[in-house]
């Protein structure tokens, strides 16, 4: 899976005693993890924004997935004058963006790791603003707002609707499916992200896939520690038609209303699989961790199993032909506290309204979602 590590830019590697690089060394060190594939069109501007950071990264780690368009030539050129070392890893076989980003994180060596897309542009203060958040020892991951732009830089909108409830969010406080775009994330390298267990995961938003790198790291961070948020747009998120994941505006009233009248039984089945897989991952991992993380993982595994049962019952609500089976499924969810809004790992009261009215009365006769993907981290209704 891991290509041979090649160090480029040795001419700048000895510059760590220079004034610009010394600043990055004495402060908390940051590795930038960039996964590339045929990104030559935009990568030069992104690399320039990394070199312009007011708090310089300690290193840039690039894992390339078989680019054929000159992407690595541009990276090599950048490395000759970059104010930090650049390390390039060429994959022998295509991994896809999920595994490629995980690999990039594995190769990083600094205190903190920041994911970086090949086609965006960073605000020069991004690293400087995020690093102090980790003075709080319980913060494992931080993320920020961003501005979506067209391919030529015109503003489209922001990602403010992805903001969490608080600026510092304690463990298990922001829900089981919460996530942030990878390019907005920075996390502690000490975070036990367990790449050997990644193949057992399920992507909540794209059925039939393993978790994206941003889901995977957010999942562990939200269970084991706190997640911090900065309400500042620190990246220009370029939209050009070839993004691995694109920008979506906040759901409109019409879209939310349509969701209420859609049969998401396929999504509920996928959510059940996702929740059980996460519980199993935590159970397999927790014996390796210290007492605090062990206890938090145990609690979270229990919550995910409880949630999996709620989704199993909810699937019956929208697939069973007999009204009596649908009613029993509703009562199972209700009696287990599945509609209680005080627990973020429940379905919540909004689901109760749909299930009690449309689920029990119509069930499988509701129009199917046809594996419709969700547009945000909020889930399905």
**So what's the pLDDT on residue 9?**
38
Pairwise CA distance, residues 23 & 176, whole Å? 38
Over residues 314-327, the mean pLDDT reads 93
3-state secondary structure of 320: coil
Residue 18 pLDDT > 60, yes or no?
A: no
**So what's the pLDDT on residue 247?**
45
**Side-chain half-sphere exposure of 205, counting CA atoms within 13 A:** 19
- DSSP assignment letter at 321: S
Work out the end-to-end distance of the chain between its first and last CA atoms, rounded to an integer number of angstroms. Answer: 38
Question: CA-CA distances (angstroms) from residue 95 to 58, 102, 130?
Answer: 26, 10, 30
Provide, rounded to the nearest whole percent, the portion of the chain with pLDDT above 70.
Answer: 85
Q: What are phi and psi of 148, to 5 degrees?
A: -80, 135
Give exposure, 278-300, as e/b (b: 16+ Cβ within 10 Å): bbbbbbebbeeeeeebbebbeeb
Give residue-wise pLDDT tens across range 131-170.
999 999 999 999 999 999 988 878 888 999 889 999 999 9
Pairwise CA distance, residues 201 & 366, whole Å? 29
Question: CA-CA distances (angstroms) from residue 231 to 73, 164, 234, 271?
Answer: 36, 10, 9, 29
For the chain, domains (ranges, CATH) are 5-238 (3.90.550.10), 253-365 (no CATH)
As to burial, measured by CB atoms within 10 angstroms (0-12 exposed, 13-18 middle, 19+ buried), residue 197 is middle
pLDDT mean across residues, the chain:
87
**Which of 348, 370, 366 has the alpha carbon at shortest distance from 357?**
366
**So what's the pLDDT on residue 25?**
34
- Which stretches of 187-228 are DSSP H helices? 213-224
**Which of 317, 339, 347, 321 has the alpha carbon at shortest distance from 329?**
317
Task: Enter the tokens of residue 208.
Answer: 């039939």
Report if pTM > 0.75.
yes
Give residue-wise pLDDT tens across range 276-315.
999 999 999 999 999 999 999 999 999 999 999 999 999 9
Pairwise CA distance, residues 200 & 278, whole Å? 9
- Which stretches of the chain are DSSP H helices? 10-13, 19-26, 43-51, 71-79, 96-107, 126-130, 213-224, 253-260, 265-285, 291-317, 323-335, 349-354, 360-361
Task: Enter the tokens of residue 96.
Answer: 């896809």
8 A C-beta contact, residue 187 and residue 356: no
Give residue-wise pLDDT tens across range 186-234.
999 999 989 999 999 999 999 999 999 999 999 999 999 999 999 999 9
Pairwise CA distance, residues 142 & 186, whole Å? 5
């Amino acid at each position: 899976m891991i290509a041979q590590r090649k160090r480029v830019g040795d001419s700048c590697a000895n510059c760590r005693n220079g004034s610009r690089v010394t600043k990055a060394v004495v402060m908390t060190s940051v590795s930038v993890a960039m996964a590339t594939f045929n990104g030559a069109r935009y990568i030069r501007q992104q690399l320039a924004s990394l070199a312009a950071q007011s708090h310089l990264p300690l290193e840039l780690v690039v894992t390339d997935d078989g680019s054929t368009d000159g992407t690595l030539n541009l990276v090599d050129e950048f490395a000759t004058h970059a104010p930090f070392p650049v390390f390039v890893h060429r994959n022998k076989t295509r991994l896809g963006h999920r595994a490629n980003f995980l690999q990039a994180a594995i190769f990083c060596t600094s205190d903190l790791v920041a994911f970086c897309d090949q086609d965006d542009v960073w605000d020069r203060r991004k690293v400087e603003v995020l690093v102090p958040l980790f003075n709080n020892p319980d913060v494992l991951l931080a993320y920020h707002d961003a501005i979506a732009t067209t391919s030529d830089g015109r503003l489209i909108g922001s990602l403010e609707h992805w903001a969490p409830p608080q600026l510092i969010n304690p463990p298990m406080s922001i829900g089981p499916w919460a996530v942030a775009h990878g390019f907005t994330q920075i996390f502690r390298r000490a975070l036990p992200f367990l790449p050997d267990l990644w193949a057992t995961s399920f992507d909540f938003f794209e059925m039939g896939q393993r978790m994206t790198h941003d889901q995977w790291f957010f999942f562990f961070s939200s269970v084991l520690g706190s997640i911090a948020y900065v309400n500042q747009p620190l990246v220009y998120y370029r939209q050009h038609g070839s993004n691995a994941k694109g920008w979506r505006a906040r759901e409109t009233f019409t879209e939310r209303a349509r969701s209420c009248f859609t049969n998401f039984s396929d999504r509920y089945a996928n959510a059940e699989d996702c929740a059980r897989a996460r519980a199993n991952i935590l159970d397999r991992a927790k014996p390796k961790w210290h007492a605090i993380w062990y206890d938090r993982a145990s609690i979270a595994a229990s919550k995910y199993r409880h949630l999996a049962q709620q989704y199993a019952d909810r699937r019956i609500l929208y697939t069973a032909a007999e009204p009596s089976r649908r009613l029993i499924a509703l009562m199972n969810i209700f009696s287990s506290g599945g509609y209680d809004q005080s627990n973020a790992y429940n379905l919540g009261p909004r689901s109760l309204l749909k299930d009690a009215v449309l689920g029990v009365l119509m069930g499988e006769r509701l129009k199917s979602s046809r594996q419709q993907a969700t547009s945000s981290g909020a889930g399905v209704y």
